[in-house]
Structure 1
Amino acid sequence: MKSIKTIKHYTIQALAILPISAVLLTACHKDILEAVPVTSISNESAYSTPAKILAQVNGIYSQFSTASFYGGRFQVFNEQRGDEFSQNDGNNSTGANVWNQSISASGDFVNAVWSAGYTTINSSNLLIDNLAASTVIPDSVRKGYIAEAKFLRAFSYLSLVQTYAKPYAQSSTSPALPLRLKAETSSSNNDLAFSSVADVYTQIIKDLNEAETDLPVSYSSALLNASRAHKASAIALKTRVYLSKGDYASVVTEAAKLVSAAAPFQYVSGNLTHKLEANVATVFAGSYVGNEAVFTIPFINPAEAPALQSALAANYLTPVVYLNSAGIAADPVFASATSVDARKGLISTNATGQKLVKKFPKNSAPYTDYIPVIRYAEVLLNYAEATAQTGDLTKATALLKAVRNRSDATYTFTSGIDTKENLVNTILNERRIELLGEGFRTPDLLRRVQALPAKTGTAGTAPEVLPTASNYVWAIPSNELAYNGLSPK
């Protein structure tokens, strides 16, 4: 398939009107090639040549990686709501109200994440609709582009359902989200009833199954393999989706497609290999697109990198947030003077004694650290948890050890692996260590219907939030309530 090109200022005249606001569909995916400025074209013209169609594909990735979504801010929100970080800055513009659990339906961030998710979804729908019967490009390419759109639509719906709806294990029949599967080009279809949590997950899995079928195994470069959806990306995301549902048997089925039966665990298909990097620091040290990168947000063009408020480095190293001493920072991996675990090197201590995550080291504008969205380490931990839950403690332990021993080859688990319950808890603890700062903590608490723990910081105290509380998940945004007459009131 062709390389992705960056095409700046490329807009569709037929705007997609979402319930929140008119969305201008841009097509500027991370400067993987040169800019080709175009002013304004009709929707029909936008899909009239292979280059223009590719521009629309690029545009979906651009929407997904916007600063308020997977360009950085969304990951920070998911860490702020959890218990691994304390808050320095009491200003709501830095998410203090996210950290202290007081953000409301009218909050800017609540509305911004919803808008970013549905913008990506509508961009995907536009491409799917317009390419349904297109003969402009070869059929295999057409199917591949549609598969990419379905992958990004599924990913967006997963992010939204995990943020705004009750967890699957708590209430799969509760209203979750409006399930928009056709392109919206006017405001006439704003009113749409909310589908249940279960129905949203069913659609996510449907999209990912179809994406897996038509996505390519690999692309022509390591950069494209990391930053563009391929078969392994769809399968890996399915392991996350099924884990969120608590469907452990399906996690095992999907993960087995990506993980060899015995160590060294890896995935090899054609010229593509996914496996753990030999050194975890390599993942964050500037190479970014190695074998561990299953799906990554690249920032090649500095002009497209996130601004101060959204950049991961700025939030973690300035710091807006710092590691909570009562959280995973107290684990011996990080806290013991004798620890030789390589992940300890991803933590630093500032002049005031605060411990900081330094996975994203470029702490000045432009903030061009690539953002890992799916790593092979996550796939192994998803697999480990699922195999433990389904009773295969031997396999689960082997997968757990693969992740731990990558960072500390001499470590031996002397406890915590003797029973199913203990092993699951040990794997969950390993997730906290391995994926720290990457946006997993709150979704992991929610999927297990666990309370969001209380925590303290320079900005004050954040209370415990029980699963029965009205603010356990984010409220449906005020803009959606205002524009969608069928939204739950």
Structure 2
Amino acid sequence: MKIYLKSHRKSIATILLLTGILFTSCENNEDLNIAPETTVSDKDIFKTPARIEGLVNGIYKAFKGASLYGGRILLYQDQKGEDFINITANNFTGYESWNNSYSSGSNDVNNLWGQAYSAINNANILIEGLAVNQGVITEQKAKEYIGEAKLVRALAYYTLVINFGQPYNKDAGASKGVPLRLKAETGPANNDLARSTVAEIYTQILKDLDDAEAALPQSYSTADLNTTRAHVSTAIAIKTRVYLTQNNWAKVIEEAKKMVPQTQAPFSTTASDVKHALQPDITVVFSSNYATVESIFSIPMSSLDSQTGQSSIAYIYNTNLEYYLNPTGILGDTQWRSSDKRRDLTRTLSGKQYFKKYAKPSPFLDYIPVIRYSEVLLNYAEAAAKTGNLTLAANLLTAVHQRSDASYAFSGTVTSDPNLLIEAIWKERRIELLGEGFRGPDLLRNLQTLPAKGDNKLQTPAVPSSAVNYIFPPANTELAVNKLY
């Protein structure tokens, strides 16, 4: 990991605090009115509850970087699939991902790498600092903050390993992944660190998520905080995703059952303080209320703290119109009928359909979804189908689909055949989670070829799982400082 402030130990702590003060779950948050302190030394950074809370907010702020969950990582991951057609061939707006042509010098690769490790290091600084600065805040509050740090660290490592490491299912995680950094870094002394295996990284991710589940609060005081800060069901939901990536069907089911106790619709949660459920109208989730109980974890935007221009996924998709929906992709599949409410999240212009889940104009205040309840239901459905419980799998799939297209019914031929049912679940993921960063990871976890796509202006060939460009190359910024990579 490149240490950009490697000679300034004091500066790192100060920047963590000051950027943390500016991260907020809604633009009216009183934290925006705090006058920032301009100099805070390492020995003082953990001396007040307010400064410690600033560090916690700083972890989320780093996770919100433009190249991470500020939105662009969703773009990079979706463009590996076939459901969007690029128009501009602009390397600054994800074209190299669409074209599978990244190099170690690509801006996207280096920015993603740096942002993910910044979030990880921020989490490590908080975890270590709270361990040696006890008594400033209550033991319970420190435990919860560490849980939040571990959840963000787990998600950052998951993002790194699925993009820069070979798929876990290729060799049960035996191949090399990325460096596993679990210590706070404030200088260049530990830049040289060999890569851990993919399996080792997944082990750490799941340990962090288990620890987070045990430490996090059940809920917060407002719906917005329940959406923008990690709580118990956030950790459980993310575990269903991680286990699905490993084809660990039994563990997906074990975790999903904590949230989804029923075997028939409506599949709302009952055990946790936050009663997760599908929002009856999916367009509400992406337009008028970003804090429904369907949105388990989202990244907030405010008028004082949002991504702008080419840093914004909304600008790329809906303002500058750099990608349109492939008519021969999921848009043209019969499982996605014209009566489906999810069609309202697209718009037609000059004969092409464009994507508008993120439809707010500048300053682009759409919250960015990290995980929604509908994904948990589909993760559960796939695991149920893979383990032979076709009735449960079909019920879960139907609940997600009929939320947006109430009259649609999956045929008995589909629901009674495990292969056809799984195919229908995979299609449903492409419809329901379109533009949320799932198509590429779904192809990779199933070791499927990255499909060819294009139109009469731009085309890109298929990429088999054996090809070197099946995953992202390592970042030059890491290669330049880590002799053991």
Shift of 1:333: 4.9
**Residue correspondence of structure 1 range 69-84 to structure 2 within 5 A:** 69-84=68-83
Residue of structure 1 equivalent to 2:19? 26
| 1:392-444: CA deviation from partner (whole Å, max 9, x where unpaired) | 11111110011011111111111422211111111011000100011111011
| 1:348-380: CA deviation from partner (whole Å, max 9, x where unpaired) | 111x21111111111x32010111111000000
**Residue correspondence of structure 1 range 266-345 to structure 2 within 5 A:** 266-269=268-271, 271-300=273-302, 302-317=303-318, 318-334=320-336, 336=337, 339-345=338-344
**Contact 2:259–2:271 (8 Å) recurs in 1:** no
**Contact 1:73–1:311 (8 Å) recurs in 2:** yes
**Contact 2:17–2:54 (8 Å) recurs in 1:** no
Shift of 1:313: 1.8
Instruction: Work out the CA distance in 1 between the residues paired with 2:232 and 2:382.
Output: 22
- Structure 1 unaligned segments of length 5 or more: list them: 1-10, 17-21
Matching of residue 193 in structure 1 with residue 187 in structure 2? no
**Contact 2:16–2:54 (8 Å) recurs in 1:** no
**Contact 1:121–1:152 (8 Å) recurs in 2:** yes
Residue of structure 2 equivalent to 1:4? none
Instruction: Mark the CA change 1:183 to 1:475 in structure 2 (over 3 Å): closer, same or farther.
Output: same
| 1:459-479: CA deviation from partner (whole Å, max 9, x where unpaired) | 511111110000100011111
| 1:144-165: CA deviation from partner (whole Å, max 9, x where unpaired) | 0000000000000000000000
| 1:210-263: CA deviation from partner (whole Å, max 9, x where unpaired) | 000010000000000000000000000000000011111100000000112232
Residue of structure 1 equivalent to 2:165? 165
**Contact 2:130–2:142 (8 Å) recurs in 1:** yes
Residue of structure 2 equivalent to 1:448? 446
Residue of structure 1 equivalent to 2:230? 229
Residue of structure 1 equivalent to 2:383? 386
Question: For this pair of structures, how many residues does the alignment match?
Answer: 466
Instruction: Work out the CA distance in 1 between the residues paired with 2:126 and 2:366.
Output: 29
Q: Percent identity?
A: 45
Give the alignment's TM-score, normalised by structure 2: 0.93
| 1:322-346: CA deviation from partner (whole Å, max 9, x where unpaired) | 1112210112354x5xx32111111
Instruction: Work out the CA distance in 2 between the residues paired with 1:71 and 1:457.
Output: 29
Instruction: Work out the CA distance in 2 between the residues paired with 1:24 and 1:117.
Output: 18
Instruction: Work out the CA distance in 2 between the residues paired with 1:401 and 1:330.
Output: 20
Give the alignment's TM-score, normalised by structure 1: 0.92
Residue of structure 2 equivalent to 1:376? 373
Q: Greater share of helix residues, 1 or 2?
A: 2
More divergent stretch after superposition (50-59 vs 303-312): 303-312
Instruction: Mark the CA change 1:24 to 1:103 in structure 2 (over 3 Å): closer, same or farther.
Output: farther
Shift of 1:90: 1.4
Residue of structure 2 equivalent to 1:401? 398
Instruction: Work out the CA distance in 1 between the residues paired with 2:170 and 2:449.
Output: 12
Instruction: Work out the CA distance in 1 between the residues paired with 2:366 and 2:150.
Output: 26
Residue of structure 2 equivalent to 1:19? none
**Contact 2:16–2:55 (8 Å) recurs in 1:** no
**Contact 1:347–1:358 (8 Å) recurs in 2:** yes
Instruction: Work out the CA distance in 2 between the residues paired with 1:230 and 1:425.
Output: 32
| 1:252-299: CA deviation from partner (whole Å, max 9, x where unpaired) | 000000112232201134642100001111111221100101001111
Aligned residue identity for 1:273: K
Instruction: Work out the CA distance in 1 between the residues paired with 2:94 and 2:377.
Output: 31
Aligned residue identity for 1:435: L
Q: What is the DSSP-based 3-state SS (H/G/I as helix, E as strand, rest coil) of the residue aligned with 2:33?
A: coil
- Structure 2 unaligned segments of length 5 or more: list them: 1-7
Residue of structure 2 equivalent to 1:184? 185
More divergent stretch after superposition (43-52 vs 146-155): 43-52
Superposed CA RMSD? 1.7
Instruction: Work out the CA distance in 1 between the residues paired with 2:67 and 2:10.
Output: 24
Shift of 1:13: 2.1
More divergent stretch after superposition (159-168 vs 28-37): 28-37
**Contact 2:82–2:326 (8 Å) recurs in 1:** yes
Residue of structure 1 equivalent to 2:205? 204
Residue of structure 1 equivalent to 2:480? 482
**Contact 1:23–1:119 (8 Å) recurs in 2:** no
